[in-house]
Amino acid sequence: MNQVPVGLVFPGQGTQKRAMGAPWRDTPSWAIAEEVSAVTGEDLPELLLDTSDEHLRRTDLAQLSVFTVALMAHAEAVRDGVIDGPVAGCAGHSLGEYAALVASGVLTVGRAAALVAVRGRAMREAAGAREGTMGVVVAAPLGEVEALAGEMRASGADVWVANVNAPGQTVVSGSPDAIGEVADRAPSIGGKMLRLAVGGAFHSPYMAPAAEALGRSLRDTVFAPAAVPVVTNVDAEAHAGEADWPALCIQQLTSPVLWERSVRTLTGPLGCGRLVELGPGRTLAGLIRRIDPGVETVSVNKPLAAPARSAGER
């Protein structure tokens, strides 16, 4: 086995697509789809094989689908020896944090699936109750985006930084009018805003009702000590052993995803020289290349295939 420490990273909502479960259908890990179906009451095989892209954009269905594929990718990567090294840490982008909690031993598949189902429904309901949207500001420095959002809030606008994804890529969340104003003003701070096709103002105070609903389920959930440190979205810190997971999961819904700092925690203090992305797409690999071009990245989005490695691998 390679002795380079490995970090496992799991994608979030937005990476879903039609038939994304097809590559996994004939693998032993397909049993995970059946297990998630049994726990949640949703037909995961149908969602992963036959559901249209438009229907998969529904928040609750997208989250269950991406979560399930991420777990299947992890199971097959372990089985096939793709990870190839000691795992020093895990992290997930937003929803992906729940897959990271399973990989680290904090949650069982069933407990995590139940929470993901509650989380997705609660976020969908919160978005339906209060219209919101999101946009990604590219090229502008984070400090300038934060200052613009703060200035707008001081004037009464509802807008917050929601994701700090990578240098020059910051997602904002808030009311449609406020996000429209960010688009108009982004050039003044050296950036450009691209609207995101999402159903709500996620990772903002608009999700407070969802946090309350999720909290009720979290209080009844059993969490085990983390066998592998999990770098959490809300503070970009590595949490090993016992942690206040209910508080961290609740806070995540209304706080920004500190992804850039999380990756730097994996590659810095935790010493990960190789990051393995597990789940649909290659979104996180692209962000990681912008954050730390020297780290090796491997994307596992199908089984028994040569993994795609980044141009910046060592």
Is 94 annotated in the active site?
yes
Share of the chain above pLDDT 70, in %: 96
Say which of 74, 93, 175, 203 is annotated catalytic: 203
The whole-model pTM stands at 0.95
Is 55 annotated in the active site?
no
Same domain, residue pair 94 and 221:
yes
Same domain, residue pair 183 and 35:
no
Task: Kindly state the average pLDDT of the residues 8-26.
Answer: 96
Same domain, residue pair 161 and 99:
no
Residue 302 lies in a domain: yes
Q: Give the tens place of pLDDT for each residue, 179-208.
A: 999 999 999 999 999 999 898 999 999 999
Average model confidence (pLDDT) across the chain: 95
Give the residue numbers spanning the domain of 277: 6-128+206-309
Residue 314 lies in a domain: no
Q: How confident is the model at residue 307 (pLDDT cuts 50, 70, 90)?
A: very low
pLDDT at 312: 45
Q: Give the tens place of pLDDT for each residue, 104-156.
A: 999 999 999 999 999 999 999 999 999 999 999 999 999 999 999 999 999 99
pLDDT at 206: 98
pLDDT at 1: 66
pLDDT at residue 172 is higher than 50: yes
Q: How confident is the model at residue 303 (pLDDT cuts 50, 70, 90)?
A: confident
Q: Would you tell me how many other CB atoms lie within 10 Å of the CB of residue 250?
A: 21
Residue 1 lies in a domain: no
Q: Which of 113, 108, 86, 114 is nearest to 8 (CA)?
A: 86
Residue 156 lies in a domain: yes
Same domain, residue pair 101 and 229:
yes
In one-letter notation, the amino acid at residue 140 is A
Give how many domains the chain has, as a whole number.
2
Q: CA angle, corner 34, sides to 28 and 35, nearest 5? A: 95
| H, E, C per residue of 151-184 | HHHHCCCCEEEEEEEECCEEEEEECHHHHHHHHH
Say which of 29, 37, 65, 94 is annotated catalytic: 94
Instruction: Report whether 161 contacts 151 (CB < 8 A).
Output: no
